[in-house]
Amino acid sequence: MMKKKSISTSRASLVFFLCQMISALDVPLDLSQPPTITQQSPKDYIVDPRENIVIQCEAKGKPPPSFSWTRNGTHFDIDKDAQVTMKPNSGTLVINIMNGGKAEAYEGVYQCTARNERGAAISNNIIIRPSRSPLWTKEKLEPNQVREGDSLVLHCRPPVGLPPPIIFWMDNAFQRLPQSERVSQGLNGDLYFSNVQPEDTREDYICYARFNHTQTIQQKQPISVKVFSMDSLNDTIAANLSDTDIYGAKPVTERQPVLLTPTGSTSTKVELRGNVLLLECIAAGLPTPVIRWIKEGGELPANRTFFENFKKTLKIIDVSEADSGNYKCIARNTLGSAHHVISVTVKAAPYWITAPRNLVLSPGEHGTLICRANGNPKPSISWLANGVPIAIAPEDPSRRVDGDTIIFSHVQERSSSVYQCNASNEYGYLLSNAFVNVLAEPPRILTPANKLYQVIADSPALLNCAYFGSPKPEIEWFKGVKGSILRDSEYVFHDNGTLEIPVAQKDSTGTYTCVARNELGKTQNEVRLEVKDPTMIIKQPEYKVIQRYGQVSFECIIKHDSTLVPMVIWLKDNDELPDDERFLVGKDNLTIMNVTDKDDGTYTCIVNTTLDSVSASAVLTVVARPNPPFDLELTGQLERSIELSWIPGDENNSPITNFVIEYEDGLHEPGVWHYQTEVPGTQTTVQLKLSPYVNYSFRVIAVNEIGRSQPSEPSEQYLTKSANPDENPSNVQGIGSEPDNLVITWESLKGFQSNGPGLQYKVSWRQKDVDDEWTSVIVANVSKYIVSGTPTFVPYEIKVQALNDLGYAPEPSEVIGHSGEDLPMVAPGNVQVYVINSTLAKVNWDPVPLKTVRGHLQGYKVYYWKVQSLSRRSRRHVEKKILTFRGNKTFGMLPGLEPYSSYKLNVRVVNGKGEGPASPDKVFKTPEGVPSSPSFLKITNPTLDSLTLEWGSPTHPNGVLTSYILKFQPINNTHELGPLVEIRIPANESSLILKNLNYSTRYKFYFHAQTSVGSGNQITEEAVTIMDEVQPLYPRIRNVTTAAAETYANISWEYEGPDHANFYVEYGVAGTMASRQVDIATQGWFIGLMCAVALLILILLIVCFIRRNKGGKYPVKEKEDAHADPEIQPMKEDDGTFGEYSDAEDHKPLKKGSRTPSDRTVKKEDSDDSLVDYGEGVNGQFNEDGSFIGQYSGKKEKEPAEGNESSEAPSPVNAMNSFV
């Protein structure tokens, strides 16, 4: 036997659906079966009286059933009523109201019967009632005059409608009246005021009733309410009483709560099981009471309890018998409380425990119909057969009634019938049809053949095998066409034929066969199962924090089965994305541009396929600067302090770290805000210190990590009282501007520092160390006072005191100032100069007496200048230099002097006024130094064995030149240096011809000047002697030969001479004069030939040039590194010379004068190579018609030798071309 298991809880809903589907297909429609009601109108059917009434009744059966109706318990003959028709092949009635019928005439209880040869099924009793929306009755409404603080109820009393109307209150402008804890609408539609306020005064309190069935709204007459405040009552009473009367209405008094509804201390409430329980308590009182609900002896049911109407209404949904009990509402304010207990009883209309189900039996089988219901009170059960009470129905020996059960045994085909079970109590009834159908049928499978099922791996797979047969077939499952029966524990076999694979794997894919068999036969069906890879989100969206107006992107990268097509949907807070172009949905991401506060929320990526769905969410937090604080309030006003409080604005998802408080002084600096203080972000009050006589306004700025908020609106102004100044001016100074005055200055007090009107300053002074009295003067609106007639530069004691109309500030402290300075009177004496070296000297002097300085001694200035150079004896423009030595120094160093020069200097003392007289000029001379390098070195006129050197004297000889030193040495082709030769040249020479040099040899030269002190910096150059003398070359033709034929003659010759020569050939008949002269250079073929030859030569020259550039350069730096002057060693930096040359100079191809003549050109006659080296003659032959058939040899001028290139001549360039 196959193993059967009950379905798991996680799959209950799916299998329940399958069971329902199979139940509906219990008997195929092609087989005989009793009627079954498939559709009917609701039991309580309220219809629109303006539209046709449609009473539904649909049924199925084989053969198709016929329909009949009863109305109010008697047969309803629709043929006799022209307004009533029945739809074809249906039991549905249509009552024509729109063509003259009246809905009220068709009120009643209707019941439909569907009948065929196997039985009759009946519908519920359908009560037809037309909806009603009556008008309000006319009534005279008196204005409501209420004292402030009293309670008030405005009654709505809507007309009784069917169904009851929806009540709401509005004004004349069709705006809903605002409701609150104080003012609210009750369940009965009345408007309750716990206490009235002056703002409740109005004349348009209007109650509206909306009747949904008829889509009409009825309006009550406006109600007027006038609230009298205590002040207005007192004014009215005062106007009507004399001065001697005692009058005055009592002020608004607070009252403890009193319940307006429900009244009394207890009440009862009955509600039916499954309905919504609504309990209400509304209380009067001042202050407005707060309502609280409890259940005595228990807890309010979780997840089903809700509070509405400002907690005045308790709502419990889907109530059950367990919700019965006592519910207490408590109204409380500061003066006391009131309570009310509502006793709730939950009754129940009948509800099914086991409803009877259709029964299909084969002849001779047994079966039962069970009808069990519950309710409060418990319902009674009654049976009917084919719509007739079973007690009076035709006898059937195969059935027996046992209370709520009918037992069938040994049924026959005539036992087929429809049975009705009726369960009823005082709150309602249940009616259910169930047929008994006796059939003998072989098995049939109702699931379509080869149906394809697709599931996701690791999820359940349910393969259907809906079947029918009588007797009931047994079901077996096989995998594959010839597989064995499935018995393993990995499968679950359900009663409705479904095969369940609890955890489908990839290897579960395949064909499954369902076999159904009973005693009348057997049948089978195949279905296919495909197991797909699950859809996964491999990169989920992540939590993001973004500043307002930024850009954010959420990723959602998925992996899915290749045969499934995924659809990605993005949601915001479980709803569709806003219709906004800022939201850009890409293939695997969501991008939000220009983020705003509204974008804050949870974003969910949902991936749907036809088989599965996955999702992932991430939260977006939009942060921004906080909103400004508001509701600034000043309390605790004192003379020197006040308390400021405020309400923080929205922090915009970034906590407020601190608040900055600023103030404005509207009296002294209106419109200018100053920093006052700041407090932590958790603080919303601060005690502020104040200054007298300031008209304060305050504002608050909130700060978070993103930035500062906009300032709050300013607080109210607060003017502090005047007082004596608390402080005196700061930065008091006394400095004279002239020798006979004293200028006293100070920083004025700011407006809020004045502490009162009439701010002035008392300026006092007296000469220090002299027994004088203080001299004082009072000034206003200034920050400077000049004392005239003072001695020159004497100390004074000074003080400045603030005062206003209320008095003086505290005694100020004294400062020391000086009267004005004058120029120093004497020059420094005993000036001495000590020359340290050729560029540095030291000067000493005696200080001047301090009394003669007549001011603050700032230091000494040394003026010095060059008179002349001792080496040139020529005067030039005198440029004086100044060195300042701060303080009371008596010596100084003079750097940067020029050697071998005559200087003058003097010294002056300096004070704040200026310089004193100069000391007598002191003359000193600097000794000789080493010269600078020669100004230039040129090498010209190279010959085979000589070079000419020219140079310029040093720009700075720094003494008397004694001589020049020239050193030179040859450089061979391997960059090695030869022996060094040194020549001393007299100082008055400026050129030299070096003779007896080697031809075609490169030389390196080192040149510097000398004084008696030593040698100066050297300069270097390179040059090359030429290779050979070049003789003029003249064209020459020799060895002319001829060879004649019948129609032409060959003429040959040898040519020596320059290129580009023109050849002229004269020929004629023997014995006659030459009759024809041919100019070859003017022939087209010859011009083309010369162009080709020239092009070939140009290409060869380019190739040669590239090869030379690649390997033929002579880097100067490498040569100098390899062949340094043996007498020149690297020197220290303080020598002023260096041991190597810079790369910038060394890598030049050729230094000035080293490789080319002075005019930087290479002349043909000066070339190292002779053009003759290339010459091998030219052999030319001409045909009789003048065509060239011989050879032509071109010559090229050799380029000048460069770098360390070999002196050998390159191979000659021969251009060989033959023409026929």
How many residues belong to the chain? 1220
- Is residue 1005 within 8 A of residue 1024, CB to CB? The reply is no
Distance, CA of 1067 to CA of 1048 (rounded, Å): 12
Distance, CA of 884 to CA of 865 (rounded, Å): 15
Residue 85 structure tokens: 């028709």
The span from the first CA to the last CA of the chain, in angstroms, equals 113
How open is the CA angle 1065-1071-1073, to the nearest 5 degrees? 45
- Is residue 683 within 8 A of residue 659, CB to CB? The reply is yes
What single-letter amino acid sits at 414?
A: R
- Is residue 732 within 8 A of residue 746, CB to CB? The reply is yes
3-state DSSP assignment of residue 184: strand
H or E element in which residue 192 lies? strand 191-193
What's the confidence (pLDDT) of residue 1179? 37
H or E element in which residue 618 lies? strand 613-623
Helices (H) and strands (E) in the chain, counts: 6, 90
- Is residue 988 within 8 A of residue 1009, CB to CB? The reply is no
Distance, CA of 639 to CA of 637 (rounded, Å): 7
CA dihedral over 576, 579, 582, 588, signed as positive or negative = positive
Q: How many of the other CB atoms lie within 10 Å of CB of 657?
A: 15
- Is residue 981 within 8 A of residue 933, CB to CB? The reply is no
In this prediction, the residues of the chain whose per-residue pLDDT falls under 50 are 1-25, 241-250, 1030-1033, 1071-1078, 1111-1220
Distance, CA of 704 to CA of 710 (rounded, Å): 12
The Cα-based distances of 735 to 135, 623, 892 in angstroms read 100, 57, 30
3-state DSSP assignment of residue 311: coil
What's the confidence (pLDDT) of residue 1106? 80
Got the DSSP string for 1018-1035?
Answer: -EEEEEE--S--------
Buried b / exposed e along 383-404 (16+ C-beta atoms within 10 A)? bbbbbeebeebeebebbeeeeb
Q: Is 465 left (phi over 0), alpha (psi -120 to 50) or beta?
A: beta
What's the confidence (pLDDT) of residue 231? 63
H or E element in which residue 326 lies? strand 325-333
3-state DSSP assignment of residue 846: strand
Q: Which of 817, 754, 748 minimizes the C-alpha distance to 786?
A: 817
What's the confidence (pLDDT) of residue 490? 82
| Residue whose token pair is 């082709």 | 973
The Cα-based distances of 1073 to 225, 841, 1051, 1066, 1067 in angstroms read 153, 101, 18, 10, 9
Distance, CA of 1065 to CA of 1049 (rounded, Å): 12
What single-letter amino acid sits at 1116?
A: V
What's the confidence (pLDDT) of residue 134? 87
- Is residue 646 within 8 A of residue 684, CB to CB? The reply is yes
- Is residue 520 within 8 A of residue 443, CB to CB? The reply is yes
What's the confidence (pLDDT) of residue 1209? 36
- Is residue 249 within 8 A of residue 261, CB to CB? The reply is no
CA atoms within 13 A on the CB side of 849: 4
Q: Which of 509, 551, 539, 507 minimizes the C-alpha distance to 527?
A: 509
How open is the CA angle 1079-1081-1085, to the nearest 5 degrees? 105
What's the confidence (pLDDT) of residue 1070? 58
- Is residue 1067 within 8 A of residue 1076, CB to CB? The reply is yes
What's the confidence (pLDDT) of residue 1087? 81
What's the confidence (pLDDT) of residue 481? 67
- Is residue 443 within 8 A of residue 474, CB to CB? The reply is no
Q: Which of 908, 915, 827 minimizes the C-alpha distance to 864?
A: 908
H or E element in which residue 1090 lies? helix 1084-1111
Residue 739 structure tokens: 């020798």
Distance, CA of 291 to CA of 337 (rounded, Å): 10
Distance, CA of 590 to CA of 582 (rounded, Å): 10
Q: How far is CA 126 from the centre of its chain?
A: 63
3-state DSSP assignment of residue 1158: coil
Distance, CA of 814 to CA of 795 (rounded, Å): 12
3-state DSSP assignment of residue 200: helix
Got the DSSP string for 896-942?
Answer: SPPSSEEEEEEEEEEESS-B-PPPPPEEEE--------EEEEEEE--
